[in-house]
A and B are shown apart, each in its own frame.
Chain A
């Protein structure tokens, strides 16, 4: 265990002594700052002053839609939920979220987890492949440490990088958000509509939840990139394939959603928000089903990585 910690320390040293890593972190910080500047100075600020009237008008329109043209069940549920939440806001005097408030801004910046996923894939793709291309793998493996521990330390380091980026994103967007937009409305709750009732939830845990949901995708793609990096010893292949899948996977799965087997595709399951806040891609899918599918893929990826790394002959 002490040995594993030292290995992780080594991997971290190799990661953070490289300029590229800091450029990535810099880009994330600049992106948060950019979104902040844009929301503060370039967006129309009058939007939220008379929100009560706006919500009432919106409700009227939604109700009319409900009466005139019946929706499918999913659409109807969405509209009913929207009306209920709007009414609750008006009754309890809780203004809706908008980009020029701390929470609205932080929810906007959770979209940056996509960039973090991208960077984490780049790191994962280089983790093992680079040691081969640098030639350092030879000196790395002739130490009294099992290969299992070495590959594990590399994987943990990759995940720690993603985690570190996520925490940085959260803290930095909180900092920028509170500097730019103040702490006004910080006690506003997040509203959820559940079984015909509107409930108040803690906003911070909602935002952390959002980041968490986005991390599922990240974790799976990083693990995939890590596997390709180990199996093919090519960082460009690992990065290319993983990023391609990251962007096209969900769309392709959407196209395939009319087939029943589509529910076994990885990307049909990475978005767990489809169960908390929407409709499942293929009818009959449940949260438990998706978690099991994700676990199976995860075990498949990590097991392949481990076996290949352990067995591989290191030739020139």
Chain B
């Protein structure tokens, strides 16, 4: 991908007092790409996002949006960003429309009335837009939040836990919508979440953060590709015989073994072959189970969910 990144974090650090909250994070977000920022609660997702939108000072390092430093050139950098930071808190005593007018007045370029109505239609709030936000459901507020973020046609959308508190239908709606605008309108989207499954469905790239450190950045495309290779557990007996049978041809594929099982990373076709080999050699096969995918494993490992 030889595109220029929309957002670039370069060795970003955040210290509060003596505690380092964000430790040397570097990453790039490209146009047309949904970047998932995944980590357990308290890992530093929200802090990173707050630094990206200038709500918090950056202790060290630099954040560039279209090559404008968020710190030194805030107004130019932020002009490209639309965001929802945590729950979209709106002015409850104003109507949804007045809320949008409020933010439209602060936009970098003039936002016409037509544009406001267009965005309202886009997020499906036409019917309720004149009502006070105080009467909105969480899902409606979330959609209004999305509307205010899109108002000035930003090139980078930053969403902090966008599906928090939504019902499954709402989550699916938001997810589809995010994918659509990213891929069709070539927007870069930066989404944070602590839910892996959701991230996998929504994102092109996933960065995993823990204790303020970016542990890895995985491309979901690669991940899907590697799906032809699976971690599979064969429950067999006797185990010694099985190891002997499989040892020669598949030695490199064995990733672990226990009292009554062997774990292997194998491709789809291999599973049947291995099974046949075991059966023909008088090894009893009790079960063949596909284990977690690599990304999930990694994520659970760091979040402690696998224990």
Measured CB to CB, the residues of A under 8 A from B are: 3, 6-7, 9-10, 13-14, 17-19, 134-136, 138-146, 311, 313-316
B48 to chain A, nearest CB (A): 13
Tell me, yes or no, whether B196 is within 8 Å of chain A by CB: no
A-side contacts of B148, CB under 8 Å: 139
Tell me, yes or no, whether B175 is within 8 Å of chain A by CB: no
Within 41-96 of B, Cβ neighbours of A (below 8 Å) are at 46, 50, 53-57, 74-76, 78-79, 81, 83-94
**Contact between B106 and A10 (Cβ–Cβ < 8 Å)?**
yes
B-side contacts of A19, CB under 8 Å: 93
Write out, one digit per residue, whether chain B residues 123-134 have a CB within 8 A of any chain A CB (1) or not (0): 000000000000
**Contact between A143 and B78 (Cβ–Cβ < 8 Å)?**
yes
**Contact between B89 and A134 (Cβ–Cβ < 8 Å)?**
yes
A295 to chain B, nearest CB (A): 31
**Contact between A314 and B75 (Cβ–Cβ < 8 Å)?**
no
**Contact between B81 and A10 (Cβ–Cβ < 8 Å)?**
no
Q: How large is the interface on B (under 10, 10 to 19, 20 to 34, 35 or more residues)?
A: 35 or more
**Chain A residue at smallest Cβ distance from B55:** A314
10 interchain pairs, CB-CB under 8 A:
A10-B105, A14-B91, A134-B91, A134-B92, A135-B86, A136-B91, A138-B89, A141-B53, A142-B85, A145-B75
B76 to chain A, nearest CB (A): 7
**Contact between B106 and A6 (Cβ–Cβ < 8 Å)?**
yes
**Contact between A144 and B106 (Cβ–Cβ < 8 Å)?**
yes
In angstroms, Cα B76 to Cα A17, docked, is 31
Tell me, yes or no, whether B108 is within 8 Å of chain A by CB: yes
In angstroms, Cα B91 to Cα A14, docked, is 8
Given contacts A9-B105, A313-B56, A314-B50, contact A144 B78 (CB under 8 A): yes
**Chain A residue at smallest Cβ distance from B76:** A144
**Contact between A142 and B91 (Cβ–Cβ < 8 Å)?**
no
Choose one: A9, A10, A316; the contact of B46 (CB below 8 Å): A316
In angstroms, Cα B226 to Cα A181, docked, is 91
**Contact between A142 and B55 (Cβ–Cβ < 8 Å)?**
yes
B218 to chain A, nearest CB (A): 28
**Chain B residue at smallest Cβ distance from A141:** B55
A17 to chain B, nearest CB (A): 6
Choose one: A7, A17, A18, A142; the contact of B54 (CB below 8 Å): A142
A-side contacts of B87, CB under 8 Å: 135
Given contacts A139-B89, A144-B75, contact A7 B57 (CB under 8 A): no
In angstroms, Cα B102 to Cα A234, docked, is 24
A-side contacts of B90, CB under 8 Å: 136, 139
In angstroms, Cα B86 to Cα A168, docked, is 41
A-side contacts of B76, CB under 8 Å: 144
Known: A17-B98, A141-B54, A313-B55. 7 other contacts (CB 8 A): A14-B102, A17-B93, A135-B86, A138-B85, A143-B78, A145-B106, A314-B55
In angstroms, Cα B58 to Cα A235, docked, is 28
**Chain A residue at smallest Cβ distance from B90:** A136
**Contact between A17 and B56 (Cβ–Cβ < 8 Å)?**
no
Within 102-160 of B, Cβ neighbours of A (below 8 Å) are at 102-103, 105-108, 145, 148
**Contact between B98 and A143 (Cβ–Cβ < 8 Å)?**
no
In angstroms, Cα B90 to Cα A136, docked, is 6
B237 to chain A, nearest CB (A): 54
In angstroms, Cα B98 to Cα A146, docked, is 22
Given contacts A136-B90, A139-B148, A313-B56, contact A146 B103 (CB under 8 A): no
B74 to chain A, nearest CB (A): 7
**Contact between B55 and A143 (Cβ–Cβ < 8 Å)?**
no
In angstroms, Cα B87 to Cα A134, docked, is 11
**Contact between A315 and B103 (Cβ–Cβ < 8 Å)?**
no
In angstroms, Cα B108 to Cα A313, docked, is 23
Given contacts A7-B106, A10-B102, A10-B106, contact A138 B55 (CB under 8 A): yes
**Contact between B93 and A142 (Cβ–Cβ < 8 Å)?**
no
**Chain B residue at smallest Cβ distance from A133:** B89
In angstroms, Cα B227 to Cα A217, docked, is 73
**Chain A residue at smallest Cβ distance from B14:** A313
B-side contacts of A145, CB under 8 Å: 75, 106
A-side contacts of B50, CB under 8 Å: 313-315
**Chain A residue at smallest Cβ distance from B83:** A142
**Contact between A7 and B108 (Cβ–Cβ < 8 Å)?**
no
Nearest 6 pairs of A and B residues by beta carbon: A135-B89, A143-B106, A314-B55, A144-B79, A6-B105, A138-B85
In angstroms, Cα B103 to Cα A135, docked, is 15
In angstroms, Cα B94 to Cα A139, docked, is 15
In angstroms, Cα B92 to Cα A64, docked, is 68
Choose one: B16, B83, B86, B94; the contact of A14 (CB below 8 Å): B94
Given contacts A134-B91, A138-B89, A142-B81, contact A13 B102 (CB under 8 A): yes
Q: Which of A6, A10, A138, A140 has the most CB of B within 10 A?
A: A138
In angstroms, Cα B86 to Cα A138, docked, is 9
B-side contacts of A311, CB under 8 Å: 57
In angstroms, Cα B85 to Cα A135, docked, is 10
B-side contacts of A144, CB under 8 Å: 74-76, 78-79, 106-108
Given contacts A10-B106, A139-B85, A315-B56, contact A146 B91 (CB under 8 A): no
**Contact between A316 and B106 (Cβ–Cβ < 8 Å)?**
no
